[in-house]
Structure 1
Amino acid sequence: MERRTFLRGAVVGSSAAAFGGTLMRGAVYAAPAQPGTGPYGALLAPDANGIALPGGFTSRVIARSGQTVAGTSYTWHSAPDGGACFADGTGWIYVSNSEVNPNGGASAVRFNSSGNVTGAYRILSGTRQNCAGGSTPWNSWLSCEEVSLGYVYETDPRGVESAVRRAAMGRFKHEAAAADPVRKVVYLTEDETNGCFYRFIPATWGDLSAGTLQVLVAGTAASGSFTWANVPDPDGSPTTTRSQVSGAKKFNGGEGCHYADDTVWFTTKGDNRVWRLDLAAGTYALAYDDSLVSGSAPLTGVDNITGSSSGDLYVAEDGGNMEICLITPADVVSPFLRVSGQSGSEITGPAFSPDGTRLYFSSQRGTSGSSSGGITYEVRGPFRS
């Protein structure tokens, strides 16, 4: 499916490339971040939904796994995971993966300009353990399978066009994706203890049906310079993609990925790190490492990541204190919210509405600790721009 197919009849806005904070301005980030007071102050007591937020912020439940989304006839999927927002006329759409195997896939919730739910529906079915992914500048959602020899599927957030498997983007345990419209590539993380960091160069920007898969090559240090090398066999069989290129840098459990302003950030859960690639300079360094903070580390179990227009990064925890933590351009890390009473879960899918006033995320297993107990939330408040 080509770019024009996804755009045909779409009512998405031209600001789509900004979803998740890709218009971050002036973010410098002299890593690694250290604990401090966040821009919104301390967390208050948990609200009626069990979420502790700074003053001025409120939460509401959008959907629960196995239950009908309010105002619709659609039953929300189990184990909600990675997500993104897309403009839709005067409203928007929030897309969410389902990390179950088999029959994972992805669903979407549509909102009007007032933020009221006006619809919910399936956009991908019949796939396996869809974990994270990423949005594209042409308004499609890349849903990634977190299984050995997994695929990336390109989907239509509106649910009009059929999803398409993008085999050229490689077969491995995919986690997240982040599009770079400047270099016209898509970055990809791999959830293995000795995984790699990749980029896919489409033969034609806007069409992911063909292209070149490359892997990041660098030394073993936590900072330095990097280059890219072609992966000879993106199919990953009989030799896995991470084992095909000598000198490919290994990362301990690749998770979330976010691009903005000539920089790509990605997380590794095995060592609780946030990495930063300066794409213009060709260097990499740590934006956060819980073993390098002074005092108690506020962010552990690093997982999904997104950003806001202010330059703030929002990092969700898989475990830890069930928090979304914020890393500012001034290299200060602090809790932004905390979910109580759900220690058997993880926070997934953080994504901002197109106007930046609402943050969506899920507790994958909710209070039950089961994939059938997922809860998807919205937080509103005075997010800085």
Structure 2
Amino acid sequence: MERRNFLRVAVVGTAAAAFGGANWREAFAAGAQPGPSPYGPLQPVNSSGLVLPQGFSSRVIARSGQKVAGYTWHAAPDGGACFADGTGWIYVSNSEVPLVGGVGAIKFDAQGTITSAYRTLNFTSVNCAGGATPWNTWLSCEEIDRGYVYETDPWGVKAAVRRPAMGRFKHEACAADPVRKVVYLTEDVPDGCLYRFRPTTWGDLSAGTLEVMTGGTETSGPVGWAPVPDPDGSPTATRNQVSGAKRFNGGEGCYYADGTCWFTTKGDGRVWAYNASQSTISLTYDDSLVPAGTAPLTGVDNVTRSSGGDLFVAEDGGNMEICIITRDGVVAPFLQVPGQSGSEITGPAFSPDGSRLYFSSQRGTSGSSSGGITYEVSGPFRR
């Protein structure tokens, strides 16, 4: 048997055992392979500069350095999320630049018209990704050594609060699990870890226990968790404090839904699934297990999920695409941003009703952090 096929069979088999023989859908997703998109082929580039499936439209809602409803949109837009606001919604976006960093927000009415824009966090550093909480705050993460997590108010009314109990390390993204009452966190270094923070009181991130995932080098099977003795990370980095901490090569995006925490690792082109109820991991996608030259998804980065259960994974580099991984284990391009090879796609997030997808090209056509472009895509998303 050819080595790639052998590895794929091995991955699917071990995932099936981990998830239970009856759940073949999740087991098959461990070996997600290229196939036809449920949205059909991509069409020619449109007036917004995007390549989309038929039936979808797009618009540019913000450009770095230009005014949006009176607010100058920040440089290097990165991780983002949407929050319901009455009949409208808010899209928040990090700024991945040193010293200034922070978070900006755009508010929409029920028809999708921009009504206001504003700043919710200032003077932090390299705010990369983050995650939304069930109590409607945005956790903005610093991607620097011994960086912090900041809890911010999407409405910009309450002052942002630093959350040191969530650990000081090179943060990337996080995702809240309301069932187990924990927040998962990724770490963007080649020998990084996956963490979870267990607040003393759910809904209050001021105190709690930081834990790190433990286990061997296997890509599927059971894993454990152990407390990190010193979340401050000095003098010993958090990832090096627990013997047996499981290593992940460059943690990136993170998203929780329906008992699963999906997270990506850019160093090896993988999308992982942590089954929270069984405390097992498996591979949803691994670009090395796709026949050579056919991988539609490379440079995995931020990840989100539609209300219909499909994953949408943004590329840092690659072909500048957002790819879909369907519920049935098919991976295919959903959209492409041509002519911006010096950029990366960041901050994918769906509006509360699931009809609009927001994201940014962090450096746009210029290849500079001052050239960021933020888009909205509308259309018949599967729900």
**TM-score (norm. length: structure 2):** 0.92
* Deviation digits for residues 336-385 of structure 1 (CA, Å, limit 9, x no counterpart): 00001100000000000000000000000000000000000000000011
CA distance in 2, matches of 1:312, 1:377: 20
2: CA distance between counterparts of 1:248 and 1:32? 25
**1:214 equivalent among 189, 211, 216:** 211
Q: Which of 49, 70, 74 is the aligned partner of 2:71?
A: 74
**Which residue number corresponds to residue 34 of structure 2?**
35
Name the SS for the 1:372 alignment partner: helix
User: Secondary structure in 2 aligned to 1:52?
Assistant: coil
1:284 paired with 2:281, answer yes
Mapped to 2, the partners of 1:104 and 1:224 lie a distance apart of 38
| TM-fit CA distance, 1:294 | 3.0
Structure 1: distance between partners of 2:44 and 2:249: 35
What's the counterpart of residue 257 of structure 2?
A: 260
- Deviation per residue, 1:94-124 (Å, 9 max, x gap): 0000000011000000000000000000000
Shift, 1:282, TM fit? 1.5
Aligned with 2:109 (options 107, 112, 118):
112
Show the counterpart of 1:367: 365
Identity of aligned residues (%): 72
1:139 counterpart (108, 111, 136): 136
Say if 2:78 and 2:362, in contact at 8 Å, map to a contact too: yes
Match of 1:337 in 2: 335
Aligned partner (choices 69, 82, 92) of residue 89 of structure 2: 92
* Partner residue, 1:176: 173
Amino acid of the structure 1 residue aligned with 2:319: N
Gaps of 5+ in 2: 1-23
How far apart are 1:293 and its partner, in Å? 1.2
The residue matched to 1:298 in structure 2 has which SS? coil
CA drift at 1:28: 2.9
Cα distance between partner residues in 1 of 2:352 and 2:240? 39
2:353 to 339, 352, 355: 355
In 2, the alpha carbon distance for the partners of 1:360 and 1:87 equals 14
TM-score by length of 1: 0.92
Deviation at 1:27, TM superposition (A): 7.0
**What is the aligned length?**
358
Q: Check conservation: 1:99, 1:130, Cα contact below 8 A.
A: yes
Whole-angstrom CA distance in 2 between matches of 1:222 and 1:83? 28
Q: Which of the numbers 298, 301, 315 marks the counterpart of 1:300?
A: 298
Alpha-carbon separation, structure 1, partners of 2:172 and 2:192: 11
Q: Say which SS state the counterpart of residue 67 (structure 2) adopts.
A: coil
Equivalent residues of 2:25, 2:329 under 8 A apart = no
1:152 alignment partner in structure 2: 149
Shift of 1:238: 0.1
Residue 64 (structure 1) aligned with residue 82 (structure 2): no
Distance 2:318 2:207 in 1: 39
Q: 1:228 aligns with which of 214, 222, 225?
A: 225
User: Which one scores higher on RCO, CA 8 angstroms, separation ≥ 6?
Assistant: 1
Distance 1:36 1:84 in 2: 28
Task: Mark the CA change 1:199 to 1:118 in structure 2 (over 3 Å): closer, same or farther.
Answer: same
The whole-number CA distance in structure 2 between the counterparts of 1:203 and 1:195 is 25
Counterparts of 1:228 and 1:303, CA distance in 2: 24
Paired with 1:117 and 1:308, the residues of 2 have a C-alpha distance of 23
The 3-state SS of whatever aligns with 1:291 is helix
Query: What's the offset of the Cα at 1:29?
Result: 5.1
CA gap of 1:278–1:350, structure 2 versus 1, over 3 A, is same
Q: Partner of 1:50 in structure 2?
A: 49
Moved over 4 A (4+): none
What corresponds to 1:269 in structure 2?
A: 266
1:280 positional shift: 1.4
Contact 1:218–1:224 (Cα < 8 Å) also in 2 = no
SS in 2 for 1:28: helix
**Residues 152 and 145 (structure 1 numbering): CA distance in 2 closer, same or farther, change over 3 Å?**
same
**Separation in 1, partners of 2:258, 2:242:** 28
Q: CA RMSD in A?
A: 0.9
Q: Distance in 2 between matches of 1:270 and 1:251?
A: 8
Residue 237 of structure 2 is aligned with which of 240, 245, 257?
Answer: 240
C-alpha distance in 1 between matches for 2:112 and 2:327? 29
Distance 2:149 2:81 in 1: 16
